[in-house]
Amino acid sequence: MIVRIHETRVADMPASGRKPHGRAGLAALVRTRRRRLDLRQEDLADLAGVSLRFVQALEAGKATVQLDRVEAVLEVLGLRLTVEPVPR
């Protein structure tokens, strides 16, 4: 399966043009969206009800982030997480 993160607007895609698949894509998308919304990591953490350390780990693509917290961060950023099968 592949995880895709959908934004509310295509114009907010990461500048690299990389598709948001997996941890690295999620990290880049969260960081890009946060910056475009002019939020500091501390602001995002407060709004999402998570720790600053969690936001930093998420933006670094750490494998240990918890899905419920990821969803809280994505909600603040106006993003949605979906899972779909990978064509084989």
Residues 81, 53: Cα–Cα separation, whole Å: 21
Supply the pLDDT for residue 6: 56
Q: CATH code at 58?
A: 1.10.260.40
For 17, residues 6+ apart whose C-beta sits below 8 A from its C-beta are none
* H/E segment holding residue 47: helix 41-48
Supply the pLDDT for residue 4: 57
* Mean pLDDT, range 23-47, rounded to an integer: 94
Cα 35 to its chain centre, rounded Å, is 12
Supply the pLDDT for residue 20: 52
> pLDDT digits over 37-83, tens only?
999 999 999 999 999 999 999 999 998 888 899 999 999 999 988 87
Which position has the higher pLDDT, 66 or 2?
A: 66
List the structure tokens of 1.
Answer: 């399966």
For 12, residues 6+ apart whose C-beta sits below 8 A from its C-beta are 32, 33, 36
Domain membership of residue 39 as a residue range:
2-84
The dihedral built from the CA positions of residue 35, 76, 9 and 7, taken in this order, carries a sign that is: positive
Structural domains in the chain (count): 1
